[in-house]
């Protein structure tokens, strides 16, 4: 039997964030076993905590969607940090260092009036502009015009998100993508999914779709929000030192809040609250 924690990420209130299943004591599980468990939980991601293989890391984290493994993902990273600390793992110098397919990721835990919060430093992004044909296909799939002042880009931070801006929250919330066509587009481009956003008075509203990963719409996506922050930084919407809060999930009955911080050197922090909703054990 292996311990498993279900953690809601980007919400201090249970059942309103994005849940991740964190399997502790994952030694001895094969990649096939992990994929089978992730398919069974049917969450956007399930993680597996293993001993680190590189010096300086506190643990190795493997991250699976229902269909495949990811090198990195945001909400699973934060939720897994919450889980390992809740079972007594110690941290050095006030932080945790996670080893994963994208390299080492630093997570800084904190507390805000008793609410557990965590911030990760986003891996270095690689970006590319897409062709007009892909933009036209995306518009057709989303059934919505894009903000023409911002060219869509692929943002690679481990997961690869095609990011685009929509001109209003009303249009964003009305988007109903053609999921079959979107899956084909994702597979043809070799990307994880599509994240779209619109500006709001307090920050931005975000939606993330990844049917090729078995996730039609991710409730609250850390890497998707990180990719939006990279996009906004590149297109001049954000400057160094700025902070904002993104909201996500209302179209799927959630209420996630993602805290974004642009550092003095342009590094991007992605953070939010975490709360454990269920603990138990899993066979295997």
Inter-axis angle of helices 132-142 and 179-189, nearest 10: 160
Placement of tokens 């911030």 in the chain: 119
pLDDT reported for residue 282: 93
pTM: predicted TM-score of the whole model, two decimal places? 0.96
Say how many C-beta atoms besides its own lie within 10 A of residue 264's C-beta.
Answer: 7
* Tokens read off for 85: 């600390």
Question: What percent of the chain has a predicted confidence (pLDDT) above 90?
Answer: 94
pLDDT reported for residue 23: 98
* Interval 43-98: pLDDT, tens: 999 999 999 999 999 999 999 999 999 999 999 999 999 999 999 887 777 899 99
Element (H, E) at 94: none
pLDDT reported for residue 114: 92
Q: Please list the residues that pair with 118 across neighbouring strands.
A: 109, 272
Q: Which of 27, 45, 145, 199 is catalytic?
A: 45
pLDDT reported for residue 89: 80
Our answer to whether residue 242 is catalytic in this structure is no
Contact 183, 211 (CB under 8 A): yes
* Interval 15-50: pLDDT, tens: 999 999 999 999 999 999 999 999 999 999 999 999
The mean pLDDT of the chain is: 96
pLDDT reported for residue 270: 98
Contact 135, 152 (CB under 8 A): yes
- Distance from C-alpha of 215 to C-alpha of 232, rounded to nearest angstrom: 24
- Distance from C-alpha of 208 to C-alpha of 161, rounded to nearest angstrom: 9
Closest-CA residue to 70 (of 184, 221, 206, 183): 221
CATH of 2-121+272-282, one of 3.40.50.300, 1.25.40.10, 3.40.50.880, 3.10.310.10: 3.10.310.10
Start-end of CATH 3.10.310.10 domains in the chain: 2-121+272-282, 126-266
Contact 161, 155 (CB under 8 A): yes
* Tokens read off for 177: 């993508």
Q: Which CATH class is domain 126-266?
A: alpha beta
* Interval 150-172: pLDDT, tens: 999 999 999 999 999 999 999 99
The band of 218, judged by pLDDT with boundaries at 50, 70 and 90, is very high
């Amino acid at each position: 039997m292996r311990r498993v924690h279900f953690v809601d990420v980007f919400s201090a209130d249970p059942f309103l964030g994005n849940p991740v299943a964190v399997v502790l004591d994952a030694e001895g599980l094969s990649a096939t076993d992990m994929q089978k468990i992730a398919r069974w939980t049917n969450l956007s991601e399930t993680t597996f905590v293993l001993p680190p293989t590189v010096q300086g890391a506190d643990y190795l984290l493997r991250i699976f969607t229902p269909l495949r493994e990811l090198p990195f993902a945001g909400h699973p990273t934060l939720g897994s940090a919450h889980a390992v600390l809740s079972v007594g793992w110690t941290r050095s110098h006030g932080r945790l260092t996670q080893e994963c397919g994208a390299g080492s990721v630093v997570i800084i835990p904190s507390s805000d009036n008793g609410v557990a919060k965590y911030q990760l430093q986003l891996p270095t992004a690689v970006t590319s502009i897409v062709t007009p044909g892909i933009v036209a296909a995306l518009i057709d799939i989303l059934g919505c015009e894009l903000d023409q002042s911002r060219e869509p880009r692929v943002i690679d931070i481990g997961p690869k998100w095609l990011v685009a801006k929509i001109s209003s929250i009303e249009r964003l919330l009305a988007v109903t993508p053609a999921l079959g066509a979107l899956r084909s587009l994702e597979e043809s481009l070799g990307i994880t999914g599509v994240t779209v956003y619109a500006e709001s008075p307090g920050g931005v509203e975000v939606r993330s779709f990844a049917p090729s990963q078995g996730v039609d719409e991710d409730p609250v996506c850390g890497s998707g929000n990180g990719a939006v922050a990279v996009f906004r930084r590149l297109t001049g919407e954000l400057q160094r030192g700025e902070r904002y809060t993104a909201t996500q999930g209302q179209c799927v009955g959630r209420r996630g809040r993602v805290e974004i911080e642009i550092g003095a050197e342009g590094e991007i922090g992605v953070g939010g609250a975490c709360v454990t909703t269920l603990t138990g054990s899993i066979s295997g």
